[in-house]
Every structure is written in structure tokens, then in C-alpha cells.
Amino acid sequence: MIFGLSTLPLLFTSIASCGATAISARDINARQTCSNGPASRNCWSGGFDIDTNVYESWPSTGQTVTYDLRITNTTCNPDGGPKKWCALINGQYPGPVIRANWGDNLRIIVHNDLQNNGTSIHWHGIRQLNSCIQDGTNGVTECPIAPGTTKTYEWRATQHGTSWYHSHHTSQYGEGVVGSIIIDGPATANYDVDLGVLPLTEWFYEQIFVLLWKDLYGPGAPPASQNVLVNGSMIDGAGHGRYTKLSIQKGKTYRLRFVNTAVNHMFHVSLDKHPFTVIAADLAPIKPYTTTDLKINIGQRYDVVFTADQDVSNYWLRVQPASGGCGRSRIYDNAAVTVGAILHYDGAQDELPASTGATLSPACADEVFSPFKALPVPSSTFAARSEELDFISGRGNQNIVNWFVDGSSMDVDWEKPTLDYVRDGNTSYLSSMNVVEMPEANQWYFWIIQNQLNANPNIPHPIHLHGHDFWLLGSGTGKFSGSTEGLNFDTAIRRDVATLPASGWLVLAFPSDNPGAWLMHCHIAWHASQGLSMQFLERKSEITGTVGSMADFDQGCTEWSRYWNSPTRSGVDEDSGLRRPPPPYQFSGPGSGI
Ligand SMILES: *[C@@H]1O[C@H](CO)[C@@H](O)[C@H](O)[C@H]1NC(C)=O
Ligand SMILES: *[C@@H]1O[C@H](CO)[C@@H](O)[C@H](O)[C@H]1NC(C)=O
Ligand SMILES: *[C@@H]1O[C@H](CO)[C@@H](O)[C@H](O)[C@H]1NC(C)=O
Ligand SMILES: *[C@@H]1O[C@H](CO)[C@@H](O)[C@H](O)[C@H]1NC(C)=O
Ligand SMILES: [Cu+2]
């Protein structure tokens, strides 16, 4: 069984340029006998390998991998500094790594054990092919999971590589509801040992949702964080906490996976004396290239390999925010502290590294590379089928800082998600839902995202799309010319987060091959809460026929409405994560009155 869904081959042949690669019987034999190992990471099994077009085919393992995630109300201090309120998964920060094989089914049971917050878990980067209802976006694909209730998510790992999952409810992932995902599969370079994932984030000593309110009412400049965490730990500069330590052996080659799980910061990463060979960006394999300064914006992932070919010793893994409105942390004010983690060779002394490394640039921009497999996009329909989406900030009512897409600040109703409209056949979408329809099946749609030249603040934004990888046809500064000249239709990068430059543009394309309501938003959590998002409503008449139960959806909404409308409820922050708080502003928690 090669195709996960019987309709897929047909579907893709109708997008001629998506170019399904013909595999001859001889190739398949060769591939089937080729098994994944340290010297053959390009192989996988059963005729699948690094050359497989993952939008079209994936293994059918018949395996279901199950995880239980229990979200609790607790405190934490991952850097040893002050304890603050945290929401954690299974009592750990970050949450457990979810790991499966390419082609597996996942079944993840989320228990909301918080007393006074909903939740909603989004599986970042996972395509959710024909399973939009499992996307975990409250206000779009589900109602929040009410306190004391449980929701089971089920999806198929049709892609492979590194990703993450996080709460899509308020800015709750910044409070701790976050973890990594590894889907094991083939790779574009060989390595001996997979070291796993290093999630990177800034760390604030205040609650993220309180900072949102400061940001809303304040001058608009995001606050500086107190620290930066690598795999959930760092020292705090006052002798507390510990560094994450990676233990390696001289002579071996290692794979390491980075995820930026931050609320606000873009990072540069470097490993002293050990250049990275970058092999994947988000969930897409790329042509390996080497760098000593890897830029990772929020939501992005990079998989790298490096060789332990230096003297047996300790080396710094350095992590530094980009400048230009892309992050600022007070830990860097302390010159005695090196921010990052330690690479420790077996046999070396257990001491802090004395290594020196590359000087990291402050750029707030994406890496430049090529996809491993080129999947061309037709340029002939660009003029007819491209649409501009304008991103801009401004002041809304009560002088609150808001962000707008085409003049409209997103505002979802978490008691009436988009899929409710779809099921009811109700097309009276509120303008604040920022719905853009993609009615035609299996066509390329092109989107020009223009960061307005007079935006204030005028800063880059990490733009993330649900339900698809996009083909990044181009990006630049100034106003997009409208011409296809300079756009890359033949070897475009595919990924799910790209950085929209300040006063600049992105041109994205993706085919309408996945019915659903798919959010596209800035992944700076506060900007999403300030309205910087929109949703593509793709082939709406086919959505309810896709995987997932509307009965579960309805039950979740009933439970949420019962909780939210209960007279004894004490949660007061009305931000769903995708809406500016509507007036009257009821916020009265810590941080109010600023
Ligand atoms: C966490 O527990 C405290 C104390 O019981 C309570 O006041 C607070 O509302 C709870 N928060 C959430 C999100 O459940
Ligand atoms: C990250 O931390 C977890 C939990 O402590 C640990 O199991 C994992 O091995 C760490 N990952 C790396 C790459 O060190
Ligand atoms: C359709 O949605 C609009 C906006 O939420 C609502 O006012 C209207 O009552 C709905 N119509 C039906 C028939 O449910
Ligand atoms: C979430 O929990 C925090 C901390 O207990 C609380 O202050 C806030 O009002 C809650 N938010 C929602 C949306 O319930
Ligand atoms: Cu933004």
C-alpha cells in the first residue's frame, strides 16, 4: 500500500506541475533492499526514501503510537531563578517528546487538569491531510478543551523530520504547554547518532498573558526577556540552574534538531569549532549546506549534522537573539554568563568550556538554501490567481495596539469555531474572522504578503501556515513589484514558517489539496493575540466529509460553553490566542492597572 488515501494519486496528477516522480520496478527493488543506517540515511524502507514526494506518498506502517498529555496548574523555574505560575505537560518543562515513525498514526489524549483555563493543542507543521478537525486551533477547528475534560487527537504522520506541539489557547505555550515532535524517516546526510531535539526559547519571569496586556496598553515595544532556555534549562546568572549538556564521542557524527519555541525571540545558534551541516528546514529535507551561524525564527526547525573531530574538550553551543525588534534578553547584560549549552566530549574534564567561536550576526532574516527535491510551481497562472494580503499595526479602540490583515484585526469566537459555520452551511462569516476562501480543488493559489511600509512598529514577522507547507517563491524589501521576474517557481523552498521582512514582502504558493479551515498567523504569540492572523477556508463543502467526528467537536463545544458561561468561573483573561480582548476589558489579574 503506497498511498495513504486512494484519491491522492488522482488528485496529484491533476496538478501536472506537482510532478509525481515515476518509480520503476527496478528502483523500487533497490530501494526496498536499502535500509536506513549510519551510512545510508537516505534510505528508509518499503520503497520509501529521501526522494519520496511526501505530499503524495508515505509508508503505511499500520502502527498507532499513543501518548497521554496531562496539563496541570503548577509553578516552575527552569533556569533556577524565581518561581512563577506555569502550566506544564506531565509535570515537565518542556513537555514530553512525541516520537513516531513516518507513516504511523498518532493518538494523543490531552487531559486539561487546569482549574481556570481552557486549552487546545496544535501539532505544528503537521499537514493534517483530510483531518482539519484535529488541528487543535481553538476558535477555528475546535472549541477550547474545558477544565476537567479530555480530548483525543488522531492524525497521521505523512511527513518526516522535526516539529513541535503547543497550546493554541491564549499565549499559554509561553507558560509551559509546549513539547517537541520527532517523526523518524530518511535524511539528506549520514550520521551515526541522533542526539534528539533542542527546543530554544526566551524565558520571562512574568506570566506571558500579563505581558500581553502590558504590550497592548504599552508603547508597543515588546518586553525584554530575563533568560533564554536550551531544552528547558540554563543558568540564571546568580549561581542557580544548570546548562544543558550534550555528551559525544570523538570521531562520531551527530544529528541535532533545533526548534524555536519562543513567544517573541528569533535566535542565532552556533557550535564552537563544529560547523553545522544543515539537512532539513521545518519538515522539508534540503540540500545540505554548511554554516557557523544558524538563524531560527519562531516556529521554525532546522536539523543539522556535525562531526566530533576536535580535541577532546568542552565547547559552547551559543544562542543569541536577533536584533531589529526580534528579541532582547537581560541575560546578555551579564558579561560573565555565556548563553547556550555545553558540548562535552567523553573523556574531557567536567568544566565550563573555554572555547571561542564564530561572531554571530544580529540579522533577523531567514536562512537561504535549496530544497532537496524540487517540485516546480506553474508561473503561468500567477497573474490571474495571486492575491495581496496587507499586514499592518495600529491602534484599535481604547488606543490598544492591534495588528490588521487587510484592515481587519482577527477575532474568533471560541464558542463558535469556523468548522461550526461550515457544518451549518452558514456563510455569514463575521468580517473579523478574516476568512479567505479557496473554493477550487487542486489549483495553485498565490499569496503576496505585504508588510506595509508605514507600519509602526515596522518589524519582521514569522508567518506560519496550518494545513500545508507553502512554496516560498520569493521575499524582499519594499513593495512587491507584481512581476514574476525574480520569483523562484522551479526550486522554491517549502516550509511552514517564513520571515516577512520589515517593510517587505513574501510570495507564497500552495495547492488546494487539503480541505479545511487553515489559520495563517504571525507566530509572535502577542501579535496573534493582537489580531495578526487570517484563515483560508479551503474547499469548504468537502471539509465535513474528512476524518474526525463532529460529535466529538460538539461535545467539546458543549463542555466549553458550560464552563465559560458558568457563574462560578474565575478565568478572566478573554484572549483566545486569536482575538484581541473585546470590550469591556474585564482583565483584573496581576499586571492590571498598567
Ligand atoms: C491555579 O491554581 C490557583 C490556586 O488554586 C488558582 O487561583 C488559579 O486560578 C489556577 N489557574 C489555572 C489556570 O487553573
Ligand atoms: C532534553 O531534556 C530531556 C529531559 O531532561 C532529555 O530526556 C533529553 O535527552 C534532552 N535532549 C537533549 C538533546 O539533550
Ligand atoms: C450564521 O452566523 C452568523 C454570525 O455568527 C449568525 O449571526 C447567524 O445567526 C448564523 N445563521 C444561522 C442560520 O445559524
Ligand atoms: C488562565 O489562567 C490564568 C492564571 O491562573 C488566569 O489569570 C487567566 O484569567 C486564565 N485565562 C483564561 C482565558 O481563562
Ligand atoms: Cu508579528
Pair 77, 93: CB distance under 8 Å: no
Q: What is the pLDDT of residues 507-526, one digit of tens each?
A: 999 999 999 999 999 999 98
Q: Which residues make Cβ contacts (< 8 Å) with residue 405, sequence separation at least 6?
A: 389, 390, 391, 434, 531, 532, 533, 534
Q: What is the pLDDT of residue 239?
A: 87
Name the grid cell of 483: 512581476
Q: What is the pLDDT of residue 32?
A: 62
Q: What is the pLDDT of residue 5?
A: 34
Ligand 1 pocket, mutate which of 115, 564, 573, 587 (most atoms under 8 A from CB): 115
Would you say the CB of residue 114 lies under 6 angstroms from ligand 1? Answer: yes
C-alpha 132/C-alpha 546 separation (Å) is 8
Ligand 2 atom at minimal distance to the Cα of residue 244: 14
Residue found under cell 519562543: 262
Q: What is the pLDDT of residue 570?
A: 74
Would you say the CB of residue 426 lies under 6 angstroms from ligand 3? Answer: yes
Return the ligand number nearest the Cα of 433: 3
Would you say the CB of residue 35 lies under 6 angstroms from ligand 4? Answer: no
pLDDT above 90 (res 594):
no
pLDDT above 60 (res 30):
no
Residue found under cell 532556555: 229
Distances (CA, A) of 533 to 30, 39, 122, 145: 46, 44, 15, 21
Ligand 4 atom at minimal distance to the Cα of residue 114: 2
Return the ligand number nearest the Cα of 589: 4
Beta-strand relationship, 105-112 and 64-76: parallel
Ligand 2 atom at minimal distance to the Cα of residue 246: 14
**Buried-state track 205-230, b at ≥16 Cβ within 10 A, e below 16:** bbbbbbbbbbbbbeeeebbbbbbbbb
* Ligand 2 site, CB within 6 A: 195-196, 198, 231, 244, 246
Q: What is the pLDDT of residue 544?
A: 79
Q: What is the pLDDT of residue 573?
A: 61
Return the ligand number nearest the Cα of 263: 5
Domain positions in the chain are 382-547
Ligand 3: centre distance to CA 430 (Å): 9
What secondary structure letter does DSSP report for 119? B
Distances (CA, A) of 279 to 37, 128, 262, 376: 16, 24, 22, 20
Grade residue 318 by pLDDT with cuts at 50, 70 and 90: very high
Q: Of 163, 145, 60, 73, which is closest to residue 109 (Cα–Cα)?
A: 145
Pair 49, 186: CB distance under 8 Å: yes
Return the ligand number nearest the Cα of 500: 5
**Residue with CA nearest ligand 2 atom 9:** 196
Q: Residue 154 CA to chain centroid, in angstroms?
A: 18
Ligand 4 pocket, mutate which of 75, 572, 586, 587 (most atoms under 8 A from CB): 572
Percent of residues, the chain, with pLDDT higher than 70? 88
Ligand 1: centre distance to CA 69 (Å): 19
Q: Of 279, 274, 241, which is closest to residue 258 (Cα–Cα)?
A: 279
Ligand 4: centre distance to CA 192 (Å): 45
Q: What is the pLDDT of residue 148?
A: 97
C-alpha 191/C-alpha 196 separation (Å) is 12
Distances (CA, A) of 266 to 46, 69, 258, 354, 587: 39, 28, 12, 26, 29
Alpha helix segments (H runs only) across 174-271: 208-217
Q: What is the pLDDT of residues 210-219, one digit of tens each?
A: 887 676 666 5
**Least confident span in 129-138, 220-229, 235-244:** 220-229
Ligand 4: centre distance to CA 464 (Å): 25
Would you say the CB of residue 535 lies under 6 angstroms from ligand 1? Answer: no
**Buried-state track 349-386, b at ≥16 Cβ within 10 A, e below 16:** eeeebebebeebeebbbbbebebbbebebebeebeeeb
Q: What is the pLDDT of residues 338-379, one digit of tens each?
A: 999 999 999 999 999 999 999 999 999 999 999 999 999 999
Domain 382-547 belongs in CATH node 2.60.40.420: yes
Q: What is the pLDDT of residues 436-470, one digit of tens each?
A: 999 999 999 999 999 988 877 789 999 999 999 99
pLDDT above 50 (res 4):
no
Pair 124, 496: CB distance under 8 Å: yes
Could you give phi then psi for residue 421, rounded to 5 degrees? -60, -45
Grade residue 577 by pLDDT with cuts at 50, 70 and 90: confident
Return the ligand number nearest the Cα of 244: 2
Ligand 1 pocket, mutate which of 76, 116, 171, 570 (most atoms under 8 A from CB): 116
Ligand 3 atom at minimal distance to the Cα of residue 413: 5
Mean pLDDT of 530-553: 88
* Cis upstream peptide for 584 (omega within 30°): yes
Ligand 4: centre distance to CA 117 (Å): 5
CA torsion through residues 325, 591, 168, 285, sign: positive
pLDDT above 90 (res 38):
yes
Pair 578, 412: CB distance under 8 Å: yes
Beta-strand relationship, 150-156 and 267-271: unpaired
Grade residue 593 by pLDDT with cuts at 50, 70 and 90: very low
Would you say the CB of residue 592 lies under 6 angstroms from ligand 1? Answer: no
Ligand 1: centre distance to CA 197 (Å): 31
Ligand 1: centre distance to CA 415 (Å): 22
What secondary structure letter does DSSP report for 561? H
C-alpha 15/C-alpha 377 separation (Å) is 9
pLDDT above 50 (res 18):
no
Pair 181, 164: CB distance under 8 Å: yes
Q: What is the pLDDT of residue 3?
A: 31
Pair 159, 54: CB distance under 8 Å: yes
Q: What is the pLDDT of residue 392?
A: 80
pLDDT above 50 (res 20):
no
Ligand 1 atom at minimal distance to the Cα of residue 87: 13
Pair 375, 15: CB distance under 8 Å: no
Ligand 1 pocket, mutate which of 114, 167, 172 (most atoms under 8 A from CB): 114
Q: Of 210, 262, 170, which is closest to residue 577 (Cα–Cα)?
A: 170
C-alpha 38/C-alpha 301 separation (Å) is 22
Pair 153, 121: CB distance under 8 Å: yes
Q: What is the pLDDT of residue 313?
A: 98
Alpha helix segments (H runs only) across 142-226: 208-217
Q: What is the mean pLDDT of the chain?
A: 89
Name the grid cell of 214: 502590558
Q: What is the pLDDT of residues 46-92, one digit of tens each?
A: 899 999 999 999 999 999 999 999 999 999 999 999 999 999 999 99
pLDDT above 70 (res 141):
yes
Would you say the CB of residue 573 lies under 6 angstroms from ligand 4? Answer: yes
To 5 degrees, how large is the angle CA 265–CA 145–CA 436?
A: 65
Ligand 5: centre distance to CA 50 (Å): 33
C-alpha 193/C-alpha 382 separation (Å) is 44
- Taking the CA atoms of residue 501, residue 504, residue 508 and residue 514 in that order, the dihedral angle to the nearest 10 degrees is 70
pLDDT above 50 (res 15):
no
Q: What is the pLDDT of residues 257-301, one digit of tens each?
A: 999 999 999 999 999 999 999 999 999 999 999 999 999 999 999
Would you say the CB of residue 576 lies under 6 angstroms from ligand 4? Answer: no
Pair 577, 118: CB distance under 8 Å: no
The radius of gyration of the chain's CA atoms, rounded to the nearest angstrom, is 23
Q: What is the pLDDT of residues 321-344, one digit of tens each?
A: 999 889 999 999 999 999 999 999
Ligand 5: centre distance to CA 299 (Å): 12
Ligand 3 atom at minimal distance to the Cα of residue 416: 5
Ligand 2: centre distance to CA 58 (Å): 28
Ligand 3: centre distance to CA 424 (Å): 9
